[in-house]
Structure 1
Amino acid sequence: MAKNFLRQAFFSGRWYRMAACAALATAAPILLADTTTGAPASAALGSPVEWPGYRGPSGDGHAQAENLPLDLNDPANLVWKTEIPGVGWSTPVVLGNAIWMTTATGEGTSLCAIRVDRKTGSIEQNIEVFHVETPDAIHKKNSHASPTPALEAGRLYVNFGTNGTAAIDTATNEVVWRNRNHTLQHFVGPGSSPVLYGDLLILTCDGADVQYSVALDTASGVERWKTPRSGSLREDPDVKKSFATPAILRVGDHDELVSPAADHVYGYDPASGRELWQMDYDGFSVVPRPVAAHGLVFVCTGFTTPKLLAIRQGGSGKLPPTAIAWEEKSQIPASPSLLIVGDLLYVMSDQGVATCLDARSGRQLWRQRVGGNYSASPLFADGKIIFTSEEGTITFIEPGTTYREIAKSDLNTRIMATPIAIGSTLIVRTATDLRLYRKPL
C-alpha cells in the first residue's frame, strides 16, 4: 500500500510555470508600513543575530526575539510584502540586511538564490545557480527548492538535492564553486538541508538508490569525507529513501551528528564522518530533525506509522532496545520537527493535533486539535510557541502544562516554509511571497 501511495504521489506532483530567475530580479515590494521613521538601523531591524540555517541559530527552532506582533491581519503590522518568483519551500536565512532563500522557476529547470533587502523588501539579487534540462518529478507537496540554505559571514551555501550544491560569495554575488557529484533518486524531490560544521558543509543523501552522508570543504566544494549508511535496508526502493536534516549535538566532551535515515538513526563524528552508533527502527521518508534535552535525543521514525523515540545519549555501537527511555506512537509528525522548551516537548502532527509531553518521562500533559495541516515546524520566539499551517493560519500559544491560545491569524495563503523571528520581526515565506511583520515603531 505504501509503495502504491508514494508512486501515485510521485506522478501526481504538479509542476509550476514561472518566469526565469533573472527576469524578475527587479520585482518591487509592496510597502505597507512606514520604514522611514528615523529609528536607528539596529532598532528598526531588531537584534543583529543571524538566522544561519534550518531551524535557526541553535538548529532547534528557538529564536532570539521579543515584542513580536500577534495580529498578522492588522495592516499596521505588515511592513512589506514582496512577490518571490518561482516555487520554493526553503526557509529564508538572514545575516545583517540580507535575506536569502532559494527558488525554482521554469518547472524546475532554473534553480536560483534570491537576496531580499531586509529594510525595504526589494529583491536585490536573483542568481541562477543551476540549470536543469530535464527536472525529476516531485511530490505535489514538495518543491525543487525545499532544502534551506546555510549561511555564514561572506558565504551562502545552497543545495538542490540531486541537482547540486554551490557556494555564493555574498559580497560579490558570484558562485564560488559548484558540486554536482552527489546524484541520487529522491523519487519525490529533495528535502534534507545542508549543515555547517567548522569548515565542512555536511549533506545527507538518502535516495532510493544510494544512501550516505558526505562533507564538502566550504572553501572549495571538494569532498572531505563520505560515509555510507551501514544498516541493512528493505528491497523496495520506495522505503530506502529519507529526507531528514541531521542535528549536531554536544554529548559529553564531543560533538555528534545525529542523522535519521530509513530504518535506522545514526550518530557520527561530524569532523571525520566516523560512525559512533546506530539504532534500528521501522520507518522511511523521515523528515523531522532530531532535538535533544536532559540526556535524551528525540527522533521521529517517518512513514508509514511515525513513532517518537527518546534515545539515551552517550551510547556507542549498535544500540539495544534498552537505549530507548520511552516512546510515543500517537499523533507523531511525519513532516514537522519537534520543539523543546525547558522540560516540555511540543509535537505538532501533520494533521494539526498538538501534543505536550514531559520530555523526561514521555507523559502526556495535554493534547489539542489546532486545526489545519502542517509541514512547517513549530517556532519558539518571544516566549511563545508559533504553529504555522499549510493553509496559512499562524497560531501563538503560551508554553506550559495546559494549552492556552494567545492569538491566531489567517493569512489565506499556502505556507510550507517555517517562519523565522529575529529581534522584533517575524518573517514569513508563503507560496508566492515573502513578508516582514513588525509592530509600528
Structure 2
Amino acid sequence: MFRLTLLAGLPLPLVVSVCLLNSVAGCAKKIPVEELSTGQSGVEIIDQAITTKQSDWPAWRGPAGDGVAPDQPLRTTWSQSDGVAWQANVPGRGHSSPIIVGDQVIVATALDDQQKQSVVSYDKHDGSERWQTVIHDGGFPSPRSIHKKGTNANSTVASDGERLFAAMLNSDKIFVTALDLDGQQLWQQEAGAFNPKFGYAPSPLIYKSLVVIAADNQGGGYLAAFDRTSGTPAWRIARGNVSSYSSPAIGTIDGREQLLISGCDTVSSYDPSTGELLWETPCIAEATCGTVVIAGDRLLASGGYPDKETVCLSGSGERLWANQVKLYEPSLVADNGLVLAVTDGGIAYCWSLEDGEQMWRKRLGGNFSGSPVVCNDHVYVANLSGDCFVFKAADSYELVAKNSLGDDCYASPAIGDSQIIFRVGVGSGANRQESLICVAAPE
C-alpha cells in the first residue's frame, strides 16, 4: 500500500500520478467527520418501546444480535419436494439477509441496471410480494468501488416492530431511511460522507429511541445515531480513516450498556447513549466484517485483513484468550459455553468459551460468506455453493444434514415461527435469479 510518507521527496507530478493509480489506497480523499454531541443535537434518549414479537427475527443476527434463535420446532432436513413451504423471486441483487417482522419477510435489494435500491416485503405464509419501495433512484457508486463479491444492498434491514430502517451507500454518502410496515417512507437522513474501497456492508441496530449505524471508511469513518421517530441526528463520532465492514452490536456487560464494534485494529466499546468511547483493545485486524458477539460476561470477535486472530475479551476489554484463526466475512456464534465458527474457507471450529481450548475442527467443504445461526442446539450455515450444513452445537462434531438450497447463498438465514428463511441465487451469469426459500417445520 502506498502511503504519503513513502512519497515524500518525489516530484509533484509523480506524486499525483501515484495517487491517481492508487486512489483506493493511501491517497484516498479524506473528508473530516463532523462530530455531533447529544448536547449539541438536543435529542433526548428515552426508553422507547420496541414492539417486535418473540417469533420475529427483526434485524441482523436476530432478536439478541448474536445469531441464536429461541428454541422452536424446526426442520433439520429438507428437499424441494419435502419441507420447502414456498419460494419467491427477489428482484436484482443483494446480500441483505432476510428479517421477519409479524407476518412479513423483508429484504433490501438493488437493481444495478436501473440504479434503484429498494426494500421488498413478502407474506410470511405464502411468499407473495406485499410491497416494494424504492428508496434511492440513481447515485450508485462506481463498480470499481464495490467488491466483486459485493452488491449495492449488503446491509440488512432492522425493525422496531413499527418501522423499518435501511442503511445504504448512495451518492458518496450513507443514508438512513425509515419506512412504516406498509412500505411508506417516514424519513431519510444523510449520515455522512463515505469513500468506498469495497462498498458498504454494516447493518443498523436499534437502541432505546435511537437507530445506530457504523460507517468505517478510508475517507473518514464514524458511528452515528438518529432518533428513530423523527430521524433527527442525535450524535456522531469519528473513528479514523480505515475501510472496515463490521456491524455494531449492543448489550449490557460488566453492568453497563455498551456499543461494540471490531475493525481499525481494535475492538472498541462506546456509550450507546452518547457515542463516548469507553475503552478499546488493540487486536484482530485493520479490516473486519464479523459482528462482535456478547456471551454472558465475555466478548468474542474475529477477523480479518491483513492479520488473523479470534479473540475473547472481558466486558472491560481485557484479553482472556486468543488464537490465530481468521473469520473474515462470517460472524461467530456462542451457545452453552461453546464458541462455534465457520471460516471463509469452510473449516468449522468449536472452542471452549471459558479458556479457548479447541474442542474440534472439521472441514465442511466450499467457501462461506453467510454467518451461522443456532436453534435447538443445532447450527445452520450455508456455503457459496448453496449447501446448508446442519450440525450439533456440541463439544464433538456431529453432522445432522447437508441440504441443497440453490446455486449460491451469500446471506445469513432468519428463523422465526418454526420457519427458516434463506436468500439464495439460482442459475449463473445473466440467468441468475435471487430467491427467498422458506423451510417450514411439519405441522
**Shorter-chain TM band:** 0.7 to 0.9
* Structure 1 residue 385 displacement after superposition: 0.8
Selected match of 2:128 from 118, 122, 132? 122
CA distance in structure 2 between the partners assigned to 1:189 and 1:307 by the alignment: 23
In the alignment, the residues of structure 1 paired with residue 363 and residue 166 of structure 2 have an alpha-carbon distance, to the nearest angstrom, of: 36
- Residue 150 (1) aligns with residue 145 (2): no
Cα distance in 2 between the residues matched to 1:297 and 1:226: 24
Rounded Cα–Cα distance in structure 2 between residues aligned with 1:361 and 1:294: 14
Please report how far the alpha carbon of residue 133 of structure 1 lies from its aligned counterpart in structure 2 after TM superposition.
3.4
Question: 1:214 aligned to 2:224?
Answer: yes
Contact kept in structure 1, 2:100 and 2:414, CA below 8 Å: no
2:189 corresponds to which letter in structure 1?
N
Report the Cα distance in structure 1 between the residues aligned to 2:191 and 2:250, rounded to whole angstroms.
24
Tell me how far apart the structure 2 counterparts of residues 67 and 94 of structure 1 sit (CA, whole Å): 17
Question: Do 1:103 and 1:112's aligned partners in 2 also have CA atoms closer than 8 Å?
Answer: yes
Moved more, 424-433 or 178-187: 178-187
Deviation for aligned residue 1:363: 0.7
TM-score, normalised to structure 1, is: 0.83
Point out the more displaced range, 104-113 or 193-202: 104-113
2:118 touches 2:136 (CA, 8 Å); kept in 1?
A: yes
> What is the CA-CA distance between 1:261 and the residue it aligns to?
2.3
The residue identity in structure 1 corresponding to 2:232 is V
1:65 CA displacement: 4.3
Structure 1 residues 314 and 281: alpha-carbon distance in aligned structure 2, compared to 1, 3 A threshold: closer
CA contact (8 A) 1:136 1:189 kept: no
Quick one: distance in 2 between partners of 1:275 and 1:174? 36
For residue 349 of structure 1, what is the aligned residue in structure 2?
343
Q: Is the 8 A contact 1:72 1:411 kept in 2?
A: no
**1:252 shift after superposition:** 3.0
Q: Are 1:146 and 1:191, in contact at CA under 8 Å, matched by a contact in 2?
A: yes
* Letter paired with 2:82: A
CA positional deviation for 1:259:
1.3
Does structure 2 conserve the Cα–Cα contact (< 8 Å) formed by 1:102 and 1:113?
yes
- Match 2:84 to one of 78, 87, 93: 78
1:64 to 63, 70, 92: 70
Q: Distance in 2 between matches of 1:135 and 1:109?
A: 10
Shift of 1:350: 0.3
Structure-1 separation of matches of 2:112 and 2:174: 15
The whole-number CA distance in structure 1 between the counterparts of 2:175 and 2:287 is: 20
Match of 2:416 among 396, 400, 422: 422
Shift of 1:108: 6.8
1:136 corresponds to which letter in structure 2? S
- What residue identity is the alignment partner of 1:326? W
Which amino acid is 2:324 matched to? K
2:407 maps to 1:405:
no
Distance 2:324 2:134 in 1: 43
User: Mapping of 1:114-263 within 5 angstroms?
Assistant: 114-137=120-143, 138-161=146-169, 162-171=173-182, 173-229=183-239, 240-263=242-265
Question: 1:159: Cα distance to partner?
Answer: 0.8
Return the TM-score normalized by structure 2: 0.83
Identity percentage over the alignment? 26
Residues 1:215 and 1:327: Cα distance change in structure 2 (over 3 Å): same
DSSP-derived class of the 1:406 partner: strand
Deviations 1:269-321 (A, max 9, x none): 00111110011236222111111225321122421232011112135xxxxxx
- 2:12 equivalent in structure 1: none
- 1:368 correspondence with 2:378: no
- Map residues 16-35 of structure 1 onto 2, 5 A cutoff: none
Report the aligned-residue RMSD: 2.0
CA distance in 2, matches of 1:391, 1:277: 40
Cα drift, residue 132 of structure 1: 2.2
Partner of 2:271: 269
Other-structure match for 1:289: 291
User: Cα offset for 1:174?
Assistant: 1.3
Match of 1:387 in 2: 381
Q: Secondary structure at the match of 2:118?
A: strand
Mind listing any 5+ residue stretches in structure 1 that lack a counterpart? 11-46, 234-239, 316-322
Q: Which amino acid aligns with 1:57?
A: P
Indicate conservation of the 8 Å contact 2:285/2:303, yes or no. Answer: yes
Indicate yes or no: 2:93 matched with 1:87: yes
**Aligned mates of 1:164, 1:279 — CA distance in 2:** 29
List gaps (5 residues or longer) in structure 2: 4-20, 25-52, 426-433
Q: The residue matched to 2:438 in structure 1 has which SS?
A: strand
| Aligned length in residues | 384
Equivalent position amino acid for 2:335 in 1: V
Match of 2:107 among 77, 98, 101: 101
Return the alpha-carbon distance in structure 1 between the equivalents of residues 378 and 164 of structure 2.
30
Displacement of 1:48 = 5.7
Secondary structure at 2:408 match in 1 = coil
Contact 2:405 2:424 in 1 (8 A): no
> 1:127: Cα distance to partner?
0.5
Change (3 A) 1:274 1:362: same
